[in-house]
Chains A and B, each alone.
Chain A
Amino acid sequence: MKFLFNQIQRNSFIILLSGLATFLAGCEDVIQVDVVNKSPKIVVDAFVNNTLDTQTIKLTRSIGYFDSTGSEPAITQAQVAVVDQSTSFPKLFVFNHTANGKYQFLPNPVTGDTFSIGHDYALLVVIGSDTLVSFSTLNPTTTIDSLRLVDVEGNGPPINTTGKYVELMAKDRKGPGDFYWVKTFRNDSFLNNISQLNISADMGNTSRGQDGDLFIYPVRYNGVNDFSRSFKSGETVRIEIHSINAIAFAWFNLVVSENQNGGLFATPPANIFTNVVSFNPNKKTAIGGFFCMSAVTAASVTIP
């Protein structure tokens, strides 16, 4: 709700002032600004889950703000491992470099090389003289009852297009302190627009104390659809609910707010924290990124 308020407040202002600015001949133009990315950060992108899919951890360096994304230099000479700290002997899962800074591991249920719910994990990364470490618990996720299809007539914002949309019928786990990242895939392509980043604390917002029931409307409906494109017949929709934790929830929230922190009422840009720390106390290596272990539940539906 808070977030929604922020959003609407900002949007109202932009509409308001642009109305006013039209009158005052206010204008926007693109200008050249020289900014220097003085010391690139080591970036750790480590979201690992308990499925049997190939797990990937990506290591790169940050680039200048006006550079094109995708051009991040890969870190290829690192050693990467995830350690299960909840087993009687710490169990090591080694991630090997494949290409472009991607370090991968394929779980194997036969040998028992899988990630388990409730276990505590540590991430270890060695890059030259830097040893990076981070910790995460693999929290349980919830279950999905069904994906319900709804016919909606699009009549202006936010729903612009008439057609079929999907509603995620799933309940938050009983008891406070559950955090989720809901990912929607349309024909196997992840809807990764920042405005569709769909996270939930319990049913949607812990401060309201809502727990143990259906996710609130913005999570189970608004967050899983792209209202400019309804689902067409034959398309498949898959929704995954990844368990995350309070820190990851806060981190995602910051990513959203920094990405949408523009316009007139922008707050000062802030650096987003990371949960990856360097073991080397003498060398101040700047690090960005996040390590999170997740349990995944999924459901899919094909549009008739």
Chain B
Amino acid sequence: MQRIISFLFFIITIGLLSAQNVTISGYIKDSTTRETIGKAQIVVTPVKTTTIPSDTKVSPDFRASTNGYGFYSITIPQGKYTIQIIAPSYPPFAQTITAKANEEINFLLIPEVEGVGTVIIRSKRNNNVKSLDISTQSINGQTIKKIPAFLGEADVIKSIQLLPGVTTVGEGASGFNVRGGSIDQNLVLMDEAPVFNSAHLFGFFSIFNPDAVKDVELVKGGIPANYGGRLSSTLDVKSRDGNKRAFQANGGIGTIFSRLTLEGPLAKPESKKLLKPRSTPAKSSFMISGRRSYIDVLAKPFLPDNLAGSQFYFYDLTAKANYSYKRDNIFISTYIGDDVFKAAGLFGVKWGNSTVTTRWNHVFNKRLFSNFTYYYSRYRYNLEFTNRDVTFNWKSNIVNNSAKVDFNYFYNPKNTIAFGAQSTHYRFIPGEAVAKSATLNLKFGLPDRYALENAIYISNDWNANGKFSIRAGIRVSQFMYMGPGKVYLFNREPGKQGILDSMYSTEKGQIVANYINPEPRLGFKYQLNNNSSIKGGYNRMVQNLHLISNTAASVPFDVWQPTTNNIKPEIADQIALGYFKNFNGKHEFETSIEGYYKTLQNQVDYIDGASLLLNELLEADLLTGIGRAYGIEAYVKKSSGNLTGWVSYTLSRSERQVVGINDGNWYANRFDRLHNLYVVSQYKLNNKWEFAANFVFSTGTPATFYTGQYTVQGYVVPDAGSNARNNVRNPDYHRLDLSVTYTRKKTKKFESNWVISCYNVYNRRNPFSIYFATNFQNKGQNEAIRYSVIGAAIPSISYNFKF
């Protein structure tokens, strides 16, 4: 480990030799809304008369890309250059400049307008081949909206689930699995703040409103050092800034919910000299976007009488405001959402996330960009039920407050350095319950838990000679489990339930357990030619928050636990290697094939019969084991022409070995799927009609089935035999979805379309789970029951508008 670290420091610091250059820096923005554009590629090609000194020569051209806030900086020798900017959904942009002195240049890109002439959606022009990112996929809001969706509602997570390496346990399961990792191993960020449950309605929809989303990036491997805290992936969701030039509204009316987004400039345009104030952007803008379901209203006729007074809805609200002044940008964004289910007089459940993020971008100088973030994030759920005259109310929370700072230092054409630090305070309320009646008021629950997590990181993108680039970085994370609270010490035999040895109370701030973990990160790219490259990556990830769940699918009531003196940090090491090639003919194709191998340590599992709810001695019921996951992902994407879309195929395995489970032998994880084929396609017939189709095939997930039974004292004891964990495969999952979009003729001020879609067209009954029950008519006879959450084709219609 030490050798790896010193090697990394060598890589980070190598080649920080500068020459006499000029720096061009600034922002890249959308010309209509003035929203910044992240991850845009800037290609700077010297014109023939410009000679480049050999020590700064990196390749035929210089390259840079904007960071997440649309800022770029590139240092080049003095001379004349052609600047090309390539960003998804924007036509290629080119301009010639003369670089004499340091200069600030902001570029405005004109978005591709649908329905005007025969404009084709351009691909990123080899962005995938030329960028250093491996195992990274980004989708923007527009693409998400084009995929046929469940009940006609475009969805961020559902779109992510069609990418290579991403799977889900099934309809009705929250979250997603990346490269054989469990759902809690994905860091889901909404404007930098982590979201602990990304599901509405048991995972049928995600909490991200596509109207409010600017872009989404999923990083599955070679994870850069600025991300940390989860083992498998990072899903970075960025919300839109809001139109800085004009007021705009868009929304939709769907089968399940309706949505509305309002956005516009907040302050008056800066310059009064201009005759057309509308054309000058304001210094600040806002965006507010909301959704509310009315499934409760629609479901009412179908509900049994005793559930007639039921509440059954979810809502979410995303809002953002920003203000820019010279070298500073300030953003405040918030998300609030809840799912509420209430059956009158019986029970009620409610769960939801809320986040608040404030960010301040400051450009110190032309090469040093900084971002300061403070966020608050909370996930909570409440459960209430009434048993005759006694009412139980139970709640659980995870609250965190975090401050972080990130710097991008565009040192020279060959080196871009990112560094920063983060500190997060966590409060866990694992369970607080109150039982109330006329005569009773009983409070009980589990003690709160506290933790502090700190991290520092540094990473350098080093472009060695134009062909070979390296991204090397290191993140050092520290996790302190601390008081006030109760600490439990157990006597443990491997694979057995722990026996309480002693326990003691801790003072506020008293450190119970402290873990420091270096997390080296490495990525490289070797450019074979303009159209192809080989990329590889290694990352070590450490995770200190654990979602405690032993049900088949994750449910909103699963409890988050910190790393403690008994629960060790989870650690994953992953290597990934990929070949990327693009075909740029009449039709443009992006292709890639990637392989990965991952090992995992300290994976949390459970003793047989573990009880996870309101169990003070929960840690005694936890077991730890090791895991491994490996696979190959193939991906072909067509991004030009009338027919666009992608095909992705993943061959993968995800396994685990835990002393005390499955007789200590390796077994397949609950979400292991060997084959995964996703086909996503859109066909644009003309400006009015657009068709789309999805096809999904996945090998069935494994499940544990009882094989035998016996009777003791008249009670049937079911039995799974030896080597039984996940001994059987559920049937394969496959499904076809279709949709048609009819766009009405656009007027100057108003645009609208109708989307008619059908989910699960050929009526497949994909099992969510297979479970066993005793047939009551024939007592003593067990049977296997297939439960399909969606057992039929689900048609839907929705109407979307924008003005």
Q: Which residues of A contact B (CB under 8 A)?
A: 1-3, 5-6, 8-9, 12-13, 15-17, 19-33, 35-41, 43, 45, 47, 60-70, 72, 158-159, 190, 192, 194, 197, 207-208, 253-255, 257-259, 262-273, 286, 288-290
Question: What 0/1 readout, one digit per residue, does chain B (120-137) give for beta carbons within 8 Å of chain A?
Answer: 000000000000000000
Q: How far is the CA of A255 from the CA of B172 in the complex (A)?
A: 28
- Residue B553 at the A interface, CB < 8 A? yes
- Residue B711 at the A interface, CB < 8 A? yes
> B554's closest neighbor in chain A, by CB?
A265
Whether B202 lies near A270 (C-beta < 8 A) is: no
Q: How far is the CA of A36 from the CA of B773 in the complex (A)?
A: 17
A264-B787, A268-B704 are contacts. A2–B710 as well, Cβ < 8 Å? no
What is the size category of the interface that chain B forms with chain A? Answer: 35 or more
Q: A30-B785, A31-B784, A286-B721 are in contact. List 13 more A-B contacts (CB 8 A).
A: A5-B394, A12-B343, A12-B347, A15-B346, A19-B303, A20-B299, A35-B706, A43-B712, A63-B708, A64-B708, A70-B780, A255-B712, A259-B715
Question: Within residues 612 to 652 of chain B, which ones have a CB less than 8 A from any CB in chain A?
Answer: 613-617
> B786's closest neighbor in chain A, by CB?
A31
Question: What 0/1 readout, one digit per residue, does chain B (742-784) give for beta carbons within 8 Å of chain A?
Answer: 0000000000000000000000010011111100000011111
B433 CB, min distance to chain A CBs, angstroms: 8
Whether B613 lies near A6 (C-beta < 8 A) is: yes
Q: How far is the CA of A266 from the CA of B767 in the complex (A)?
A: 14
Whether B771 lies near A266 (C-beta < 8 A) is: yes
A177 CB, min distance to chain B CBs, angstroms: 14
A16-B341, A254-B609, A268-B725 are contacts. A62–B303 as well, Cβ < 8 Å? no
Q: Which residues of B contact A (CB under 8 A)?
A: 172, 201-202, 295, 298-299, 302-303, 307, 310, 312, 341, 343, 346-347, 349, 383, 385, 387-388, 392, 394, 433, 444, 550-553, 555, 557, 606, 608-611, 613-617, 670, 703-722, 724-726, 728, 765, 768-773, 780-792, 794
> B731's closest neighbor in chain A, by CB?
A31
Whether A262 lies near B771 (C-beta < 8 A) is: yes
Whether A45 lies near B792 (C-beta < 8 A) is: no
A24-B794, A272-B719 are contacts. A9–B769 as well, Cβ < 8 Å? no
Whether A2 lies near B552 (C-beta < 8 A) is: no
A270 CB, min distance to chain B CBs, angstroms: 3
A165 CB, min distance to chain B CBs, angstroms: 13
Whether A45 lies near B788 (C-beta < 8 A) is: no
A289 CB, min distance to chain B CBs, angstroms: 5
Q: Which B residues touch A158, using CB under 8 A?
A: 387-388
A9-B557, A269-B704 are contacts. A63–B383 as well, Cβ < 8 Å? no
Whether B310 lies near A8 (C-beta < 8 A) is: no
Whether B792 lies near A25 (C-beta < 8 A) is: yes
Whether B608 lies near A254 (C-beta < 8 A) is: yes
Whether B785 lies near A24 (C-beta < 8 A) is: no
Whether B202 lies near A17 (C-beta < 8 A) is: yes
Q: Which A residues touch B707, using CB under 8 A?
A: 35-38, 64-65
Q: How far is the CA of A64 from the CA of B784 in the complex (A)?
A: 13
Whether A19 lies near B299 (C-beta < 8 A) is: yes
Q: How far is the CA of A107 from the CA of B180 in the complex (A)?
A: 60
Q: How far is the CA of A43 from the CA of B433 in the complex (A)?
A: 41
Query: Contacting B347 at CB < 8 Å: which of A8, A43, A253, A270?
Result: A8
Whether A271 lies near B724 (C-beta < 8 A) is: yes
A27-B765, A194-B716, A268-B726 are contacts. A33–B770 as well, Cβ < 8 Å? yes
B288 CB, min distance to chain A CBs, angstroms: 29
B353 CB, min distance to chain A CBs, angstroms: 19
